[in-house]
Amino acid sequence: MFHVKHGYREVLASLGVDPTTTRVSRLYAYEALLASLAVPRGMVAKGDADRLRDRHVVDALRAVDLLRGTADAADLGSGAGLPGVPLAIVREDMTWTLVEKRRHRVAFLERVQAELGLSNVQIAAGPASEHGSRFDVVVARAFASASATWEAAEALLRPRGRLLYWSGAGSRPEDDLPTGVTVRLATSPVAGYGSIAIMART
Burial state string for 78-112 with b = 16 or more CB within 10 A and e = fewer than 16: bbbbbbbbbbbbbbbebbbbbbbeeeebbebbeeb
CATH of domain 8-201: 3.40.50.150
Quick count: other Cβ atoms within 10 Å of Cβ 168? 14
Say how far apart CA 122 and CA 95 lie, in whole Å: 8
Instruction: Dump pLDDT digits (tens) for 88-118.
Output: 999 999 999 999 999 999 999 999 999 999 9
pLDDT of residue 5: 57
Strand, helix or coil at 137?
strand
Give the mean pLDDT of 136-142.
96
The C-alpha angle 38, 28, 82, rounded to 5 degrees, equals 45
Say how far apart CA 38 and CA 45 lie, in whole Å: 9
Report the chain's C-alpha Rg in angstroms.
Answer: 16
Domain ranges of the chain: 8-201
Strand, helix or coil at 119?
coil
192 confidence band (pLDDT: 50, 70, 90): low
Instruction: Dump pLDDT digits (tens) for 22-65.
Output: 999 999 999 999 999 999 999 999 999 999 999 999 999 999 99
Task: Please report, for residues 31, 62, 108, 122, 142, the alpha-carbon distance to residue 28 in angstroms, rounded to integers and kept in the order given.
Answer: 5, 17, 16, 21, 22
pTM of the model: 0.93
Is 70 within 8 Å of 136 (Cβ atoms)?
A: yes
Quick count: other Cβ atoms within 10 Å of Cβ 175? 9
